[in-house]
Amino acid sequence: MSPAPAAAPCPHEDPGLQPERTVLSWGRTMMAFCTAAAVHLRWLPTHGGFVLVLFGLSLSLAGGIYVSQRIRYARAALGVAGEKLAPDAISVMTTAGACMLLGVLGITAMLFF
């Protein structure tokens, strides 16, 4: 029996530092979008097919967060190790804009469909 492969070494000294907390918060955001997608499916009998746009948008945002997690973590861990960490403003602004868009589309679904 061969030994289990060792985990990849952490590029910074403190494994409880910023990158891990950031990954956890993005994971919670991803779960919130999945929950919103489930809520949108509950609206389907009442508000019709327009709700599928909300469902698709919510799931695609959750998928985008899932796909970008490794890249985001690696960038943050290397930034902490090199003592030069830039904020990920594009991801934050995209998520904020998507939340606003989902809110507007949700209100539209409630009022007009």
| Residue 9 falls inside a structural domain | no
> Based on the structure, what is the number of domains in the chain?
1
Which residue shows structure tokens 């985001």? 72
Q: Tell me the residue range of the domain where 54 lies.
A: 18-112
Query: Each residue of 28-87: pLDDT tens digit?
Result: 999 999 999 999 999 999 988 999 999 999 999 999 999 998 888 888 888 888 878 888
| Residue 103 falls inside a structural domain | yes
Q: Of 76, 69, 65, give the one whose Cα is nearest residue 99.
A: 65
| Residue 12 falls inside a structural domain | no
